[in-house]
């Protein structure tokens, strides 16, 4: 992701003892609701591409492969910040693990299922504790 409006880059180069540590970069995507863009905080494809630092054609490829889904389709696809987070995961899988796009989709779907199962398990545990 490149440095653009809505992105805050943080870095830490030393610890509190003055020793030099490996430099780390953190990116924080700040969601903002700009009425000039769209209503409800949804981003059009071009703005999503700008936020994540990718060409709009690559975002379209992600759409075609089913890796991301628009929240609305009027008249162009509109995305929530969840799509930006998912694109970040796709890019990390490709960069860090050398995973192709088809495999990234499978991995993300499995991670989504794990998250759903964890939520369901937490709900069931709270119901059992309440008995």
pLDDT of residue 19: 58
pLDDT of residue 33: 44
**Mean pLDDT of the residues in the chain:** 79
pLDDT of residue 21: 57
Partners of 86 in the beta sheet?
none
**What is residue 66's DSSP assignment?**
T
As a whole number, mean pLDDT of residues 95-116 equals: 94
As a whole number, mean pLDDT of residues 60-71 equals: 94
User: Which domains are assigned to the chain?
Assistant: 41-129 (1.10.1660.10)
pLDDT of residue 61: 95
Whether 51 shows a pLDDT value over 60: the answer reads: yes
Please state, in angstroms and rounded to a whole number, the distance separating the CA atoms of residues 131 and 127: 7
pLDDT band for 58, please (50, 70, 90 cuts). very high
DSSP secondary structure string for all residues of 82-113: HHHHHHHHHHHHHHHH---HHHHHHHHHHHHH
pLDDT band for 25, please (50, 70, 90 cuts). low
pTM (two decimals): 0.64
As a whole number, mean pLDDT of residues 31-51 equals: 69
């Amino acid at each position: 992701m490149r440095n653009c409006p809505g992105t805050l880059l943080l870095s830490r180069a030393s610890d509190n003892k003055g020793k030099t540590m490996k430099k780390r970069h953190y990116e924080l995507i700040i969601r903002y609701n700009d009425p000039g863009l769209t209503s409800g905080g949804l981003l059009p494809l071009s703005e999503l591409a700008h936020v994540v630092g990718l060409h709009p054609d690559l975002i379209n490829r992600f759409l075609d492969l089913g890796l991301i889904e628009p929240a609305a389709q009027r008249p162009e696809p509109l995305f929530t910040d969840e799509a930006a987070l998912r694109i970040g995961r796709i890019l990390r899988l490709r960069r860090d693990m050398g995973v192709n796009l088809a495999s990234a989709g499978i991995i993300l779907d499995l991670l989504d299922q794990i998250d759903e199962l964890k939520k369901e398990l937490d709900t069931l545990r709270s119901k059992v504790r309440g008995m």
